[in-house]
Structure 1
Amino acid sequence: MSNHDSNLPEVTENDLFPNPGVPAHTPRPTDVDPKAEKRAERQVAMFFVASLVFAVLFIVSYFKLSVGDDWDTWLGFGASTVALGVTMGLALMCIGIGVIQWSRKLMTDVEVVDYRHAVASPEEDRAVAIAELEKGLAEAGIARRPLVRNTLLAALGGAGAMALVSFRDLGPSPWDVDDADKGEGLRHTLWKKGERIARDVVGTPILASELEIGDLVNAQPFSLLEVDEKTGQHKMHGGEVQVAKSKASLILLRMHPDDIKPGEGRENWDVNGIVAYSKICTHVGCPISLNERTTHHLLCPCHQSTFDLADSGKVVFGPAHRALPQLPIAVDAEGYLIAQSDFTEPVGPSYWEREKK
């Protein structure tokens, strides 16, 4: 003690707080009665099994209940929403209750004291920590209670399955779907063999003879804008139209046939100098329509990616790395432009199964 501390009063044992001590451990019924222990173990397992059942019901509800059905109302909410929310909530709640009951009735409840130590622990302390961890696992009974362990793992697997199923709603499936004619999934659009090409917004089919050299036309599949003669309403409507339009949007450009440099296998993809390409930039998906008439270059206004429509839509400038997908077109018996097929590659931003061109 330094000189300036010499006047401080001396601290005695009477000035310290008394050690409250640790109360004597009171055994629980499960600690002394094997029947009570087994009963508690079955109760915990029951909650984990119930969680798995609710997880299965969640998955069934996800695939069986469709949002928007006529009967899809319950207390002002959709039946699908209610079913998914209730089953997921109960599945997670049962896991929580099971773990709480496990810790209260089956895990060791003896109090221990662990003093803090320096941040940098010596190897001896690390070995002790590992030993304590192994001791804790042993006291938790995870190894000697296979019923609890296995049902817990099943319940956690069910919870993980719910999460995986829910990821399906993040966007359309990248894989092929049963009804490709509706343009479902990421691989398909509404374009198919014989589909007429229509002007965007107005929905009128396009005669090849109407287009002059230099004309640029925004187009859509005719079926997207088709009107039902009986009702006078479009056959497709709402979100269905927006999703289909976001993938099927098209750019038509007429140039002199001699200016076209057809790629391998694309010799018959144009109609007397009329070419068709996806309107969706392969960089981040912006709609593009800025045309340089003398060069046949199409410029994306977002990040200035530039594509050569006379040379298979190849990138000539900017951050895009892949050419614009080209739609093979032809004319029908009446002279209207039609698609020969769907796009031969997915449209839009970079895609994991597209080849760089």
Structure 2
Amino acid sequence: MSEEKLPAAHAPAGTLDPFADPGLPEHEPRRTDIDEKAAKRAERQVSLLFVISMLATVGFIASYVTIDKYRIVDLFFFGKIGALNLALGVTLGIALFCIGAGAVHWARTLMTDEEIVQERHELKSSPEDREAGIREFQQGAADSGIGRRPLIRRTMIGAMALVPLSGVVLLRDLGPLPGNKLRHTFWGRKGPEGRTVIINENTGKPLKPDHIIKGSLTMAKPEGLNQETEDHQPNEHYLAEMGKAVILLVRLEPDEIKSKKQLEWSYQGIVAYSKICTHVGCPIGLYEQQTHHLLCPCHQSTFDLADDGAVVFGPAARSLPQLKITVNESTGFLEAVGDFAEPVGPSFWERG
């Protein structure tokens, strides 16, 4: 039979109890506990971290207001990234890190660090224990020195008060800041009656009427809208403009077109519509030849291309905007006449 383990208090003399309480080592004071100059230096370091946090928050707000959201910077190994996103991430990260680092440095160098042992007790606290907890909290507040170190207290409050402003500034996007940008696309840059050559999105070449095959969709964009500028620099506005200007072309029989206005805006049965769903802005690309219906894959909104792009099913509330097209008699290329008659994409408050 195995021997029964004896309690530590009754262990035979000379035996080693492996579960004996080793106790706490002797407390060693920190340099800031015995050297007031070191304590002052640590106080200035903590305050400096809080001040850096404040400056970073101001930098976050300044970046949000001044940096163009389409600006791109090249970070070598990381590749190309939006300058605004980079500035916001770096400044907000510094602001939050410095608050945390300042609090940790404060606790490790200036707050009381004497070891305290608290024996386990039942979960329910007695009134005496609750009173003792309040006293310990008050003692902890006194030990932290926050009342005696106004420089730390003020800079910490300033840093924590400024950080929430980052979220407040973001509310700016809820206002009508886009102005009339949502009402116009790249097609209208030459004016109401200006003509723009229609470019095949896949080949990058101008389209002619015989390129549009019945029963298929042809994705297109306006001439001049390219990913690079003339000096071979990245076009910072390409994606934003493309998101509004991209169109799809479909060839119908002229007698299948139900609307007189739609027929006038077409060329030999070729109609051009915005590719952007009027529900939440998904790109549309599913075409059913027999019914002339166009299906949005996101939420199944269905549009009738033979009837002014009207909604026949799904959550979309508005018809697809049509683009008026014609042909250049000298070149034979399809051209758009002016811009869409109404804003493309989802509805917005200022639409009217």
Same fold (TM > 0.5): yes
Deviation at 1:288, TM superposition (A): 0.9
Q: Give the whole-Å Cα distance in 1 for the aligned partners of 2:287 and 2:79.
A: 45
Deviation at 1:190, TM superposition (A): 1.9
| Residues 331, 338 of structure 1: 8 Å contact kept | yes
Q: Give the whole-Å Cα distance in 1 for the aligned partners of 2:271 and 2:308.
A: 9
Q: 1:183 matched to which residue of 2? A: none
Q: Does residue 110 in structure 1 map to residue 114 in structure 2?
A: yes
Q: What secondary structure sits across from 2:115 in the alignment?
A: coil
Q: 2:155 matched to which residue of 1? A: 151
Counterpart code for 1:150 = R
Change (3 A) 1:300 1:99: closer
| Residues 327, 339 of structure 1: 8 Å contact kept | no
Q: 1:224 matched to which residue of 2? A: 225
Change (3 A) 1:142 1:252: farther
Q: Give the whole-Å Cα distance in 2 for the aligned partners of 1:270 and 1:134.
A: 79
Percent sequence identity over matched residues?
Answer: 32
Counterpart code for 1:270 = W
Deviation at 1:140, TM superposition (A): 3.1
Q: 2:292 matched to which residue of 1? A: 296
Q: Give the whole-Å Cα distance in 2 for the aligned partners of 1:309 and 1:37.
A: 77
| Residues 307, 315 of structure 1: 8 Å contact kept | yes
Q: What are the ranges of 5 or more consecutive residues in structure 1 without an aligned counterpart?
A: 181-185
Q: What secondary structure sits across from 2:187 in the alignment?
A: coil
| Residues 197, 222 of structure 2: 8 Å contact kept | yes
Q: 2:322 matched to which residue of 1? A: 327
Q: 1:245 matched to which residue of 2? A: 242
Q: 1:46 matched to which residue of 2? A: 48
Counterpart code for 1:341 = D
| Residues 226, 234 of structure 1: 8 Å contact kept | no
| Pick aligned residue for 1:204 from 203, 206, 211 | 206
Please list, as runs of the form range in 1=range in 2, the aligned pairs for 1:1-357 lying within 5 A after superposition: 8=4, 10-11=6-7, 13=9, 15=11, 17=20, 20=23, 23=26, 26=29, 40-54=42-56, 56=58, 67-68=72-73, 94-118=98-122, 121=124, 124=127, 132-133=136-137, 136-137=140-141, 139-142=143-146, 145-156=149-160, 175-176=177-178, 180=181, 189-192=185-188, 193=192, 194-200=194-200, 201-204=203-206, 217-224=218-225, 241=238, 244-253=241-250, 254=252, 256=254, 259-260=257-258, 270-271=265-266, 275-281=271-277, 282=279, 285-293=282-290, 295-300=291-296, 305-317=301-313, 320-323=315-318, 325-329=320-324, 337-342=335-340, 344-347=342-345, 353=349
| Residues 228, 235 of structure 2: 8 Å contact kept | no
Task: List per-residue Cα deviations over 1:69-127 (Å, max 9, x = no partner).
Answer: xxx7899999979x969877765664454223311333232332334455x64685677
Counterpart code for 2:223 = F
Change (3 A) 1:353 1:291: farther
Q: Give the whole-Å Cα distance in 2 for the aligned partners of 1:343 and 1:117.
A: 76
Deviation at 1:271, TM superposition (A): 4.3
Change (3 A) 1:52 1:326: same
Task: List per-residue Cα deviations over 1:114-173 (Å, max 9, x = no partner).
Answer: 34455x6468567765665565445434466443233224435666677999999xxxx9
Q: Give the whole-Å Cα distance in 2 for the aligned partners of 1:235 and 1:174.
A: 34
Q: Give the whole-Å Cα distance in 1 for the aligned partners of 2:76 and 2:62.
A: 18
Q: 2:14 matched to which residue of 1? A: none
Q: What secondary structure sits across from 2:224 in the alignment?
A: helix
Q: What secondary structure sits across from 1:252 in the alignment?
A: strand
Task: List per-residue Cα deviations over 1:298-330 (Å, max 9, x = no partner).
Answer: 134677542122444343345x53445303526
Deviation at 1:346, TM superposition (A): 4.5
Q: What are the ranges of 5 or more consecutive residues in structure 2 without an aligned counterpart?
A: 12-16
Counterpart code for 2:178 = D
Deviation at 1:21, TM superposition (A): 5.4
Q: Give the whole-Å Cα distance in 2 for the aligned partners of 1:312 and 1:143.
A: 73
Q: Give the whole-Å Cα distance in 2 for the aligned partners of 1:153 and 1:159.
A: 10
Aligned length: 323
| Residues 197, 222 of structure 1: 8 Å contact kept | yes
Deviation at 1:55, TM superposition (A): 5.1
Q: Give the whole-Å Cα distance in 1 for the aligned partners of 2:160 and 2:308.
A: 51
TM-score, normalising length: structure 1: 0.60
Q: Give the whole-Å Cα distance in 2 for the aligned partners of 1:12 and 1:267.
A: 97
TM-score, normalising length: structure 2: 0.61
Q: Give the whole-Å Cα distance in 2 for the aligned partners of 1:27 and 1:226.
A: 61
| Residues 300, 313 of structure 2: 8 Å contact kept | yes
Q: Give the whole-Å Cα distance in 1 for the aligned partners of 2:349 and 2:77.
A: 45
Change (3 A) 1:106 1:344: farther
Q: Give the whole-Å Cα distance in 2 for the aligned partners of 1:235 and 1:9.
A: 83
Change (3 A) 1:324 1:142: farther
Q: Give the whole-Å Cα distance in 1 for the aligned partners of 2:53 and 2:323.
A: 53
Counterpart code for 2:108 = R
Q: What secondary structure sits across from 1:191 in the alignment?
A: helix
Task: List per-residue Cα deviations over 1:165-222 (Å, max 9, x = no partner).
Answer: 9999xxxx995279x5xxxxx7764231335251413442667x99899886433212
Counterpart code for 2:342 = T
Task: List per-residue Cα deviations over 1:243-287 (Å, max 9, x = no partner).
Answer: 54344221234454784358xxx8898347664322234467244
Q: CA RMSD in A?
A: 5.6
